[in-house]
Chains A and B, each alone.
Chain A
Amino acid sequence: MLLVLLALCLLWMSTARADDAAPLPVDFPGLVAALPQADFAAKQAIVTRMTELHVPQARVLLAAWLDNRLESRRSDGKVFVVEEHDGTLVLVDPFDGKGAGEGAADDFERVRSNNALRKLLKVSIAQFDLKDPDPRVRAAAVRQMRRDLDEDTVTALRAALTQEKDGRAQHEIRVALAVSDLGAGDAAVRLAAVRALDGETAADVYNALKPLAQDSGTESDASMRAAAIGAVRHIEVWRNFYEALETLFFGLSLGSVLVLAAIGLAITFGVMGVINMAHGELMMLGAYTAYVMQQLMPHHVGAALLLSVPAAFLVSGLAGVAIERTVVRYLYGRPLETLLATFGLSLIMQQLVRSVFSPLNRSVATPEWMSGLWQVNDLFSLTWNRVYILVFSLVVFLLLVLILNRTPLGLKVRAVAQNRGMARAMGVRTERVDALTFGLGSGIAGVAGVALSQLTNVGPNLGQSYIVDSFMVVVFGGVGNLWGTLISGMGLGVVNKLLEPYAGAVIAKILVLVFLIMFIQRRPRGLFPQKGRAAEGT
């Protein structure tokens, strides 16, 4: 009995083995046809074979695969490159690149990839791109290949160098070859490689040079080591410079978020003197407006986001006017009651959102042009979403300054803030101005919420996490002073980010708060206190 079992077992194993070793199709169509059924190991073999075959169509197919745009039809297992629109797939035949009609997404199954496979795909695509007519594509391909150099890639690169006409691509290839030459047996070749790499700043070059520059390092030749040390020092100087620049940018970008959050409050609290605890919830409303806009136009993520800026201004602004008319106006001059009433309002608004949208966070998609990286050079890069938000906050700030200083509304707002009785005597309808001012501050909060939806979770608690920071910025900057808000927001952001690498995120935040408490003790009116008659009223 046992023997029979054993025999069966062996038989099963041998058939399984035979399955594993099922010969790979030799031609491109055969390889493509084998894709839907293949497991990840088989897929790797298929990719390698496709790269060897070097069929031009394979580049398109592999790139689509890497992009998750390769699907197989359930009915006949045919593979298509697809483009999704509204749940229907626009099909492209992988062999002739021509359109092959459309299909419902449910009738197709994605050809999946995993990490190992995606890495292989990138390398394979780079090999195709080495012969691309566009020199920039070729240079990028070399960079991709440089990440893991082996003998095959080095030979491929040497061959490519002889063909290469474009200066930039040539340069990339030379750098790649020099990195590989650092491990050469011949000392002269190594020295030439180090010399060639001097002035390069990429991280992989640095990592390759670093061991040569160390005392206990792998390099025995003294002149070699001196050259390597020189090259490494060169990189380190630049590294430190760009690191400082990066920290500054991080600080400004955190600061821009703080400014955005605080700027609406600078109006309601700073100019009007209303302690509005529901300010955070007005931002939350703005963020939810962005979410709703995206739900309304699911296929135009970017346009929806842009449109949600005015929409959020309206929604939060109207909510602000409503709050002013129904609650705040009865409580002018009674800060404690205002604080309690608006705090209660904030809880009501949170619960409202919980009931309408569920307590779960909602995801707001990031448009293509806002995601990713702006690679300035090897050592310095900025994330696009932060760049946009930094610019956006400055634009919002400037608009607000213009409104306050250059429009009739701004004039009235300032007049009412400075001397209510006199303004009324001059014929200003102060009640209306109050409502409009509160609405303006609230609308700006809504606009800030749209920006926040790109950085953090859109959920009922969104406002709570920013309300304290907002008050902090306004008080630190000096109540009633817009420029003070800008400078204090940016300043706090930069200080926070300067401290973070040394102290860690938790301690950095605490240190900033301790500093603030001490500062307010010394100068209770903040960085830029209002001077003259306006200050007396507050």
Chain B
Amino acid sequence: MNTKYLRNRLLAGAAALGLLAASAAQAEDTIKVGVLHSLSGTMAISETTLKDTILMMIDEQNKKGGLLGKKLEAVVVDPASNWPLFAEKASELLEKDKVAVVFGCWTSVSRKSVLPVFEKDDGLLFYPVQYEGEESSRNVIYTGAAPNQQAIPAVDYLMKEIKVKRWVLEGTDYVYPRTTNKILEAYLKAKGVKPEDIMINYTPFGFSDWQSEVAKIKQFGSAGKKTAVVSTINGDANVPFYKELGNQKISAEDNPVVAYSVGEEELSGVDTKPLVGHLAAWNYFESIKTPANDAFIKQWHEFIKNPKRTTTDPMEAHYIGFNLWVKAVEKAGTTNTDKVIDALPGLETPNLTGGMAKLLPNHHITKPVYIGEIRDDGQFDVVWQTKGTVPGDAWSDYLPGSKDIEADWVTLKCGNYNTVTKKCAGQNF
């Protein structure tokens, strides 16, 4: 009895050891990919889609045989739309799970929150959303648009094609709209727009009583000069805003509104009738017909098992980012962060809508810019696009503080090199 018990114990122990060894071996056989997107809280609406996009890309890569002969393994964490929690989850990914790369963040404040973690632990983050610029970190690859790849071309379109003379810059009160509007104001003034022809307005998050704001826009726009509204209004405040525009009969033909944060996903839960004809500026639209885009949409619908789901600009950014990372790992022959970061600049991968996305030394990429008119089915008709792609500029040329600053991680090895004083500021972001 006793011996039998002992033998059993020994056997069990051996089995446990064996299992442990096996799991360790398996862990070595996979490359871990961190996914840092909010799956709960206010940002879950937008960020869950991006988590699914990365899972789809990993799935596809594994079907192709993985990377460097190993399978990819996703490590998904939920920072719950809580900015400090982003930093905690980031260090968990980097220090505990030892992921090779992280795809994540949506809002600028979450990115700012994880930056110190990525620089301290020498991680690598792919950030997929259009943002306000004024940043370039060695450990971050910005696959969304910088202001010169979305905000400025859209204003150019309105100025040249629609002959807009008066401008309303309407935004939600936080860092992205404030910085973008600062850049746009400087840009418009540089183009000879008089200060009295620019009106800047901010409203709180989730604002819903738009009547006096819209009446103000209406009055501002009735001065006999063509007036456009540049909207950096974020999130669900957009719905009552467009509703009020429709109710007060501000038509897209007279006062077009060009939005920087309204895409297919945002329009999918909205009555689009009052929005038809208003504009949005993005680097990708689902409605653009290319074989690559068709294939991507088909793949997405099959993966998510819902043919009604839309594809959006930040999803394309993740698609590009993932492909760039795969190429860099293949080129470097390792997932070592330093080697991958060195291998990344100069790599190219095709966009979904044609042209190539090339990673520049400032860790931004080249992108085409499209202006689309909203259709009644929630999709966009492209009415204008840039000739070729536009290289992303980390530091705006139109702000006095940043026009002398350059980011170059290849030759200068610096994210904020001042070309006048010839110094690299110590601060990295």
Instruction: Report which A residues bind B (CB closer than 8 A).
Output: 68, 112, 114-116, 118-119, 122, 203-204, 207-208, 210, 246-247, 250, 253-254, 257, 359-366, 371-373, 381, 383-386, 455-457, 459, 461, 465, 497, 500-501, 504-506, 509
Contact = CB atoms under 8 A, between A and B. Distances in A.
A456 B223 contact: no
Interface stretch (B56-64, B133-141, B246-254, B316-324): B246-254
Q: Which 7 interchain pairs have the tightest Cβ spacing?
A: A207-B224, A456-B208, A383-B247, A203-B222, A119-B253, A457-B236, A505-B203
A436 B311 CA distance: 49
A366 B243 contact: yes
Nearest to B271: A363
B246 A360 contact: no
A372 B247 CA distance: 4
Contacts of B246: 371
Contact of B253 (A118, A384, A497): A118
B286 to A, nearest CB: 16
Contacts of A504: 201-202
Question: Interface majority SS on A: helix, strand, loop or mixed?
Answer: helix
A250 B375 contact: no
Most chain A CB atoms below 10 A, which of B208, B216, B248, B270 = B208
B222 A115 contact: no
A366 B269 CA distance: 14
B244 interface: yes
B212 A500 contact: yes
B247 A373 contact: yes
Contacts of A505: 201-204, 207, 213
Contact of A501 (B216, B236, B249): B216
Given A207-B222, A254-B209, A114 B277 contact: yes
Contacts of B375: 112
A509 B253 CA distance: 33
Given A112-B381, A361-B236, 5 more contacts: A247-B212, A359-B44, A363-B270, A373-B249, A457-B208
A370 B90 CA distance: 49
Contacts of B247: 371-373, 383-385
B368 to A, nearest CB: 20
Contacts of B256: 115
Contacts of B274: 371
7 contacts: A207-B222, A359-B45, A456-B208, A461-B206, A497-B212, A505-B201, A505-B202
Contacts of A371: 246-247, 274
A363 B271 CA distance: 6
Interface in B43-77: 44-45
A207 B223 contact: yes
A122 B253 contact: yes
Nearest to B243: A366
B239 interface: yes
B240 A250 contact: no
Nearest to A500: B212
Contacts of A247: 212
Most chain A CB atoms below 10 A, which of B206, B251, B383 = B206
Nearest to A247: B212
B215 A115 contact: no
B26 interface: no
A383 B224 contact: no
Interface in B2-25: none
B404 interface: no
A402 to B, nearest CB: 29
Given A114-B381, A360-B269, A372 B249 contact: yes
A250 B248 CA distance: 13
Most chain B CB atoms below 10 A, which of A115, A257, A497 = A115
A465 B208 CA distance: 10
Most chain A CB atoms below 10 A, which of B212, B215, B240, B271 = B212
Contacts of B313: none
A257 B269 contact: no
Contacts of B271: 363-366
Nearest to B279: A115
A204 B224 contact: yes
A192 to B, nearest CB: 22
Most chain B CB atoms below 10 A, which of A210, A373, A385, A455 = A455
A162 B203 CA distance: 52
A497 B44 CA distance: 33
A120 to B, nearest CB: 9
B290 interface: no
B211 interface: yes
A428 to B, nearest CB: 41
B29 interface: no
A386 B210 CA distance: 11
A373 to B, nearest CB: 5
A501 B206 CA distance: 19
A247 to B, nearest CB: 7
Contacts of A383: 211, 244, 247-248
Given A115-B373, A383-B244, A250 B211 contact: yes
B342 interface: no
Nearest to B247: A383
A506 B202 contact: yes
A203 to B, nearest CB: 4
Most chain A CB atoms below 10 A, which of B202, B211, B247, B277 = B211
A247 B209 CA distance: 13
A115 B252 contact: yes
Nearest to B256: A115
B164 to A, nearest CB: 12
B173 interface: yes
Contacts of B223: 207
A453 to B, nearest CB: 11
B419 interface: no
B334 interface: no
A157 B204 CA distance: 48
Contacts of A465: 206, 208
A373 B224 contact: no
Given A114-B277, A250-B212, A457-B239, A361 B269 contact: yes
